[in-house]
Structure 1
Amino acid sequence: MRIPNLINLFVFALMSYSLDVSAQTDTVKVFVGGEVFDGDANGERVAWATVRLRSAADSTQTYSTATDQNGVFRLEDIIKGKYNMEVSCVGYETESRTVMVGNDTILPSFVLKESAHMLNEVLVNAKYTKMNHKGGYVVQVKGNPLAKVSSTENFLSTIRGISISDDIRVFGKQGVIIALNDRVISYKQLKEIPTSMIERIELEQQAPSEYVSGGVKPPLLRVVLRNEPGLLGSVGLSSWYCMDESWALTETANALLSLGKFSLLNNFSNTNGFWRDGIKQDVFYADHETHQKAESRQKLKRSLQNDLNMRYSFTPYDHIDVNASYSTHKESGKLLNTGDVALFNEHGHDSNYGNGVSVKMVKGLKKDGVSKVSVKGSYSESHFKEDRKYEAFSSGVQLMDIDNGRYNADISTILTYAIGRSHSLKAGVNYNRISELNSYKNLGGNTVKFMDDTDNRLSVAQTHGMVEYENTIAGKYYLKAEMNFDHYKLGYDDHLAGARIANVSNGLYGSVSGYIPFNQEKQRYLNMSAIYTFSYPNYGYYSPVVVYQNDKLYNKGNPDLDVEKLYIFELAYSANPHLSINYGFSHRTNFVSVFMHQDSTDPTVYYTCPENAGHENVHSLVLSYRVNPFRIWTVNAMLVGEYKNTHTPNERFNAATAFLSVHSYARLTNNTGLKLRFDYKAPSKSVNVKKSGNYVLSLGAYASFCKNHLNMDLTGYRALCNKVVTTTSGDGWRMERRNRYSEFRIAYNLSWNFNFGKKINGRRVESVSTSAKERPTL
């Protein structure tokens, strides 16, 4: 063979091999990953940012994804080559760069700068809100531009389905269960936690069994704290001042320390203050009228509360929590009476303290994050001491001593086991015991003539068991069925009078609920639930102890009460991120209502007593709407309507009422803004009591400085409002009560957020591999 032929053959083979390698190179697929950070927040990661990778050679070849809750993204099955990369997020300027993708690649971190444009809060909330598979939704707080300049209370006010007035409503319902991680806290405690410590907020239509033992299940608002290594916290000072010279001053401190497997959370608050209340009371009898004015003055010397929670995580699925808490409260006060009738003045000193401890252990059964067993035990006690002195205008001075002690022990076990990807079973048992020791002394005088000395013990023991089945059908639809059993025992012993009462009740009840998502991205879904349950009346109602109100009114318990039975049906429809509609119907039988009666020994004296009284139907409708009329102006509104049909042994009556709450925000810059809140409660009535309608307008301003470390809030509460008139009726008489003083008050809140150990320069910044591909050699 000739040499030139050999050369041609070699060149042809080499070209063929090179083309083959080139073809393989063009089709080899790799992954691209990285992290996205907030350039103005000391290394905050940006959650749910949009990441797009567009081929420089072919613009139609595009890959996209979003960062997770920790600001991390990963694009799979990327063909090697040159790409234009773009990272964007609502509230930030878009970051772009050109990248060469060779092997599997971890890109240098992206740092986004805060947008200079006004934020569209509805758009931001929609971007940072995701639906979960159970029909609740999750609002991301970490990295959310709205959370940077807001207190937790203000941030909650921007979320659709939440309303804040004198209390908090979720999906139009009151009695919301608030959990910090897994521990139930009060709304006051939640307000004191800064948004800088919160990772996300979860909302559920009905609280799971871990948080409530049977009965009616209110909504759950669960706050999940962050877990990055380092120290996060805040110190704050808040105060309010009222035109009637009332005032309060509160100091707060919060710290969250994370050190790998160990974390520690401490919440501290202390309040001092003075406030006055003035009541005008007019009583209209058939043949005469009486008029009374009363003023109470309360000096709060100290109201201190400290909570410490520690967690050690053995693995991502196993951990132990230990919580300890302490509180103390001391105040003195007086009640001064004037008017037509001969009443008395009251002086008192109150002091109470409480402490508690709880331990919770969680053991994962599988590495699915669902299968686990948890055991929790807790114990708490509180003591209340009250010294009273009554200065009667006609019968001199009388002293009264009250001592109360409350002891609560609770233990529970819950087992959850996932069967495949779509089924899970949960079973649990809870035992709770409450004991109260009550002592009333020096009641033998004529001033407090409706009460006797008593030394009694009230104990309540409840054993609750439940079984729950969950199923995700076709990976999309969610169904839950639950069955509960309660054994309830109440005992009352009066050691002085020799009285003894015991009540034992058992019951089996259940519920079923479902979730149908139509479009999760657009937050369009339907939630349904049907519940049968029964509820024990407030156990204090069972106690026959008389509670003194004033010289014309006292309360007494009823040991013969029966349980209430309740049937509930609920529908919740979300049309989009702007609008949701909730409808509820309940039928209550044997329900307990408080009635007023005339004292048989004195026709001018009345008392209240709870009684089982017929049945009741309640319809409720809740509309939640959030919109931006203009770019800088956000309105979050909730309208709650209720119609009640009540049948009692003596009468039948219908009552309708409504509640409107409107939260409005005008963002002047990304760090400053104005807020306005309007609440209206329509007139309402029950068997014996009517309340007039009430409107309240509050307004304020907020600002953030020093890269969102310093937050300030100034609010004028009840800048415009009317006085509520409460009318109580009895046989042949009517009593009207109203507040005498102005309800306007000015409040400010100042807080400094700090963090240590979370520095921007601690990011992972591995570079893209730029080494050339090795060429084949002979």
Structure 2
Amino acid sequence: MKKVVFVLMLVIAGQWLSAQEGAYEVKGSVSDSSGEAIIGATITLQRDTTATTLTGAVSNAQGAYALRLPACGPYLIEVRCIGYKTQQRRVTITQPTTQLDFTLEENSVELSEVEVVAKHTKLQSNGNIRVQFKGNPVTKGKSMSEALRFIPSVEVSGNQLLLNGKEDNLIYIGDQQITMQQLNSIPTSMIDHIEVVPNPGVSLGKHVKGGIIYITLRTEAGLLGSVSLPTQFDHRGFVDSGSSLFLQYTKDGVSLYNTLRGGGGRYTTLYERQNKYQGEASSLVTTMSDSKKRDYAVLDNFGIKYQINKHHTLGFFGGVMYDRPKEETLLQDGAGQTLLAQGYDQRILDLNGGVSYSARLAVCEGLGIASTLSYSQSQSDRLAHYSTNKGELARSKSKTHYLIVHPRATLVFAGGNHLAGGVSYSYALDNNDAGGVSSSTLPQIIHRQFAISGFDLSPYLEYSKMLTKRLYLQVGLRYQTTVMHYRDLLNAQNDYTVPNRGLYPNLLLQYMLNPAKASGIGVAYRHFFSLPNYGYYSPVATYLTRNLYSIGNQRLKQETFDEAEVNYFLNRDWQFTYRVRYGRNIIQIMTYKDETAPDLYYTQPRNVGSRWSHYASGTFNKSLFPFWRTNNILYLRYDQEQIPGRSVQSFSVGGTSTHQFTITKMVGLSVAFSGETARQQLGYTLGGRYGLDLGCYASLLHDQLQLSLSLSNLLHSRDRFTMRMSDTTEQLRLDLSPRRRLTLTISYAFSA
């Protein structure tokens, strides 16, 4: 009996000791310097006294890991991952559970360029694409436009930016929205990373029709700066030149940046218009429109962020722009006789500013609040002149105010549930006083005094969660009410009010098939709206030719859309997109006969019907060899537009192909081709187009000095625009403007 008891005691003791061996645990996460989770990092644990490896783990899709320890005491934990510097940490374990998070520093030296590029581009669990600029070979020596051409899902053509084929995309630095031209003034060496959001939720904005690109600047302590000098030429000689100074300073929780740009140039636009009249006596009338514009501008943008403490952040941003454009347009017939000469001299002053605040509140774990207040003002003084039988002047003045208030809150609670809500309010007021002329040949240039104002109020709520380790859900709902008032200050009978309101939901599901290979599939749906441009309401006529003018429409309503999109990421190299969109109250520029005068027509925006749009694309983005990087997009587009009694279908094929060739570590070449077949819409037809760009770049003095020489539109098509003016009249417009440009850009980066 004693032996049995003794054996039982040994068994129980063994079980107790065995249980104690698993009683200690170390867990945490592994991320890079930007906070992005690192997948596949190897974590090993050694006895600090013997250097013997006891156990190990690999970080998962969220960068998390967990290690079981045999006992308490001193240990050495080591974290390794290709592309990052190895990190070791000595710890003494005394508690059952210890939280240890690791932030690894990138080590691009041990990687080939192919591997470095792959490491710098990441598909996130919510479908966004994050691209690290610092240390990325794709961005070295390039302007921002050139670098974006190698980003997955992104197309760049001139100042037009497309995300998955979608137009009307927004660009932000912090809480400040910027233009593509402003983005081009920031050297790539000053940017830490960008995040491409192809399908933004309701919490990211009420007027988002496309996607969003968020720019994050570098945050190294001290002073960072750069000077850029771009200059353009065409076959006629000098086109424009400018300079920009970018400064960023970070110290003790304060970060500020400032971009100062200035320059000027001359621009030529040459159109040939052919009016075709069909009937008993068919005829063809040709006119030439030659516009010469000179423009001088200076602008400054700044931002300040102050980290009050680890829970509170305060920011300020603003800008100023002064622009002085002058333009002369000469309209001649086929024999060279002058039909109309017009031009203008304009002064524009824009001011904007804002403040932002964010905080993490202790009243509830995971609760954060933020608010943004911004105000902008634009004023213009324009003196237009017209020369027909006699010269006449017409002065126009306008002043615009725009206010935005956006308080919001986020709550992260148990189980990874994320809730975001807020209210966005904006108000706009545009006062105008436009002078007229007495010439009978320009009957629509009359004195007008009017004001356009409007407000919108938009509360929203958005919920998101990682349902599983690979499945992400985001669902949101926004209510929008918008009211536009048009007031004719000379005749109150022309006053008009347009209300718009509705509920706008969105849904996003993203499933990561293989996180290590960046393979996943995303499905998105959204119901959204698009408000008319304020300029579309303007009653001021603008003459395009002597017998054709454009004028606004004060009764325009908002467009509404339903859109569904599927994105399939096969791996880091291949992406496929399909999107279908249905729009109602679509605004088209329609042409009508002016019954007040013979042979006089006008164009006007109107809500005329509906549109079905189908878009399918395939993207191949890869480093084929260490010296050759390519990004290719091929797309198919099918549109169907309808109005009562008329329907138009259009099928087009297009694409872009961009290539980078690394000659040495400091010098490279780029080639970019884009093209699309003709597209037909209800009011007009766009002819097919193509263009070929060449470029070379050099990065010298340890990447401080960057030289870029590009030849845009080395080969290109002539843009053709055909407008149906009536059942018997059609106008063909050929763009004969000089489009081949040679651009030299010199940038120098410095730090202190």
The alignment's TM-score, normalised by the length of structure 1, stands at: 0.83
Please tell me whether the aligned partners of residues 658 and 682 of structure 1 are also in contact (alpha carbons under 8 angstroms).
Answer: yes
Q: Kindly state the Cα deviation for residue 229 of structure 1 after the two structures are TM-superposed.
A: 1.5
Q: Distance in 2 between matches of 1:529 and 1:410?
A: 28
Match of 2:446 among 421, 434, 452: 452
1:401-480 counterparts in 2 under 5 A?
401-480=395-474
Tell me the secondary structure at the aligned position of residue 207 of structure 1. coil
Please tell me whether the aligned partners of residues 543 and 557 of structure 1 are also in contact (alpha carbons under 8 angstroms).
Answer: yes
- 2:206 matched to which residue of 1? 213
Q: Distance in 1 between matches of 2:343 and 2:149?
A: 40
- Encode CA deviations 1:84-123: one digit per residue, 9 max, x unaligned: 9997755x9xx899x998979999x9996847x9722xx3
Q: Does 1:262 align with 2:254?
A: yes
Q: 1:64 to 1:715 in 2, by over 3 A?
A: farther
Match of 2:589 among 589, 594, 598: 594
Q: Distance in 1 between matches of 2:365 and 2:265?
A: 47
Amino acid at match of 1:493: R
- 1:376 matched to which residue of 2? 372
Match of 1:555 among 539, 550, 555: 550
Q: Does 1:239 align with 2:235?
A: no
Q: Distance in 2 between matches of 1:370 and 1:137?
A: 25
Q: Distance in 2 between matches of 1:35 and 1:485?
A: 37
Please tell me whether the aligned partners of residues 250 and 271 of structure 1 are also in contact (alpha carbons under 8 angstroms).
Answer: yes
Please tell me whether the aligned partners of residues 617 and 635 of structure 2 are also in contact (alpha carbons under 8 angstroms).
Answer: yes
Tell me the secondary structure at the aligned position of residue 487 of structure 1. strand
Q: Kindly state the Cα deviation for residue 193 of structure 1 after the two structures are TM-superposed.
A: 1.6
Q: Distance in 2 between matches of 1:49 and 1:232?
A: 34
1:454-533 counterparts in 2 under 5 A?
454-498=448-492, 499-533=494-528
Tell me the secondary structure at the aligned position of residue 590 of structure 1. strand
- 1:3 matched to which residue of 2? none
Q: 1:322 to 1:562 in 2, by over 3 A?
A: closer
Which range moved further: 329-338 or 453-462?
Answer: 329-338
- 2:174 matched to which residue of 1? 181
Please tell me whether the aligned partners of residues 177 and 184 of structure 1 are also in contact (alpha carbons under 8 angstroms).
Answer: yes
Please tell me whether the aligned partners of residues 142 and 200 of structure 1 are also in contact (alpha carbons under 8 angstroms).
Answer: yes
Tell me the secondary structure at the aligned position of residue 126 of structure 1. helix
- 1:617 matched to which residue of 2? 612
- 1:43 matched to which residue of 2? none
Which range moved further: 261-270 or 174-183?
Answer: 174-183
Q: Distance in 2 between matches of 1:262 and 1:347?
A: 48
Q: Distance in 2 between matches of 1:96 and 1:611?
A: 63
Amino acid at match of 2:358: V
- 2:7 matched to which residue of 1? none
Please tell me whether the aligned partners of residues 511 and 522 of structure 2 are also in contact (alpha carbons under 8 angstroms).
Answer: yes
Q: Distance in 1 between matches of 2:229 and 2:168?
A: 28
- 2:391 matched to which residue of 1? 397
- 2:740 matched to which residue of 1? 744
Please tell me whether the aligned partners of residues 57 and 67 of structure 2 are also in contact (alpha carbons under 8 angstroms).
Answer: no
Q: 1:537 to 1:100 in 2, by over 3 A?
A: closer
Match of 1:169 among 162, 185, 205: 162
- 1:157 matched to which residue of 2? 149
Please tell me whether the aligned partners of residues 361 and 368 of structure 2 are also in contact (alpha carbons under 8 angstroms).
Answer: yes
Match of 2:352 among 350, 356, 360: 356
Q: Does 1:197 align with 2:187?
A: no
Q: Distance in 1 between matches of 2:28 and 2:237?
A: 63
Q: 1:64 to 1:678 in 2, by over 3 A?
A: farther
Q: 1:595 to 1:616 in 2, by over 3 A?
A: same
Q: 1:681 to 1:492 in 2, by over 3 A?
A: same
Q: Kindly state the Cα deviation for residue 562 of structure 1 after the two structures are TM-superposed.
A: 3.9
Q: Distance in 2 between matches of 1:730 and 1:481?
A: 45
Q: Kindly state the Cα deviation for residue 78 of structure 1 after the two structures are TM-superposed.
A: 9.1
Which range moved further: 422-431 or 744-753?
Answer: 422-431
1:709-724 counterparts in 2 under 5 A?
709-724=704-719
Q: Kindly state the Cα deviation for residue 73 of structure 1 after the two structures are TM-superposed.
A: 13
- 1:295 matched to which residue of 2? 290
Q: Kindly state the Cα deviation for residue 557 of structure 1 after the two structures are TM-superposed.
A: 2.8
Q: Distance in 2 between matches of 1:489 and 1:101?
A: 63
1:601-640 counterparts in 2 under 5 A?
601-640=596-635
Q: 1:470 to 1:629 in 2, by over 3 A?
A: closer
Please tell me whether the aligned partners of residues 31 and 74 of structure 1 are also in contact (alpha carbons under 8 angstroms).
Answer: yes
Q: Distance in 2 between matches of 1:110 and 1:511?
A: 37
Please tell me whether the aligned partners of residues 48 and 128 of structure 1 are also in contact (alpha carbons under 8 angstroms).
Answer: no
Please tell me whether the aligned partners of residues 630 and 659 of structure 2 are also in contact (alpha carbons under 8 angstroms).
Answer: yes
Q: Distance in 2 between matches of 1:33 and 1:436?
A: 52
Q: Kindly state the Cα deviation for residue 661 of structure 1 after the two structures are TM-superposed.
A: 0.9
Q: Distance in 2 between matches of 1:382 and 1:595?
A: 29
Q: Does 1:660 align with 2:655?
A: yes
Q: 1:55 to 1:593 in 2, by over 3 A?
A: same
Q: 1:684 to 1:76 in 2, by over 3 A?
A: same
Q: Distance in 1 between matches of 2:194 and 2:326?
A: 39
Amino acid at match of 1:197: M
Q: Distance in 1 between matches of 2:90 and 2:506?
A: 54
1:267-282 counterparts in 2 under 5 A?
267-282=259-274
The alignment's TM-score, normalised by the length of structure 2, stands at: 0.86
Q: Kindly state the Cα deviation for residue 129 of structure 1 after the two structures are TM-superposed.
A: 2.5
1:94-133 counterparts in 2 under 5 A?
114=109, 119-120=113-114, 123-133=115-125
Tell me the secondary structure at the aligned position of residue 189 of structure 1. helix
Q: Distance in 1 between matches of 2:609 and 2:165?
A: 26
- 2:679 matched to which residue of 1? 684
Q: Kindly state the Cα deviation for residue 630 of structure 1 after the two structures are TM-superposed.
A: 3.3
Amino acid at match of 1:184: Q
Q: Does 1:251 align with 2:247?
A: no
Please tell me whether the aligned partners of residues 39 and 516 of structure 2 are also in contact (alpha carbons under 8 angstroms).
Answer: no
Aligned residue pairs: how many?
Answer: 711
Please tell me whether the aligned partners of residues 628 and 662 of structure 2 are also in contact (alpha carbons under 8 angstroms).
Answer: yes
Please tell me whether the aligned partners of residues 49 and 89 of structure 1 are also in contact (alpha carbons under 8 angstroms).
Answer: no
Please tell me whether the aligned partners of residues 245 and 275 of structure 1 are also in contact (alpha carbons under 8 angstroms).
Answer: no
Please tell me whether the aligned partners of residues 25 and 66 of structure 2 are also in contact (alpha carbons under 8 angstroms).
Answer: no
Q: Kindly state the Cα deviation for residue 34 of structure 1 after the two structures are TM-superposed.
A: 13
Match of 2:688 among 673, 684, 693: 693
- 1:337 matched to which residue of 2? 331
Q: Kindly state the Cα deviation for residue 509 of structure 1 after the two structures are TM-superposed.
A: 2.5
Q: Distance in 1 between matches of 2:106 and 2:375?
A: 48
- 2:5 matched to which residue of 1? none
Which range moved further: 680-689 or 561-570?
Answer: 561-570
Q: 1:369 to 1:385 in 2, by over 3 A?
A: farther
Tell me the secondary structure at the aligned position of residue 237 of structure 2. coil
Q: What is the aligned-residue identity percentage?
A: 21
Q: 1:106 to 1:282 in 2, by over 3 A?
A: closer
- Encode CA deviations 1:503-553: one digit per residue, 9 max, x unaligned: 223222212221111111211111112222344433443444434333211
Q: Kindly state the Cα deviation for residue 226 of structure 1 after the two structures are TM-superposed.
A: 2.4
- 1:41 matched to which residue of 2? none
- Encode CA deviations 1:343-395: one digit per residue, 9 max, x unaligned: 12223211101101101111212599963111221111011111122121xx2
- 1:142 matched to which residue of 2? 134
1:319-330 counterparts in 2 under 5 A?
319-330=313-324
- Encode CA deviations 1:20-57: one digit per residue, 9 max, x unaligned: xxxx99x99999999999xxxxxxxxx99977879999
Please tell me whether the aligned partners of residues 57 and 65 of structure 2 are also in contact (alpha carbons under 8 angstroms).
Answer: no
Q: Distance in 1 between matches of 2:171 and 2:57?
A: 36
Amino acid at match of 2:161: I
Q: Distance in 2 between matches of 1:609 and 1:100?
A: 69
Q: Kindly state the Cα deviation for residue 658 of structure 1 after the two structures are TM-superposed.
A: 2.9
Which range moved further: 182-191 or 81-90?
Answer: 81-90
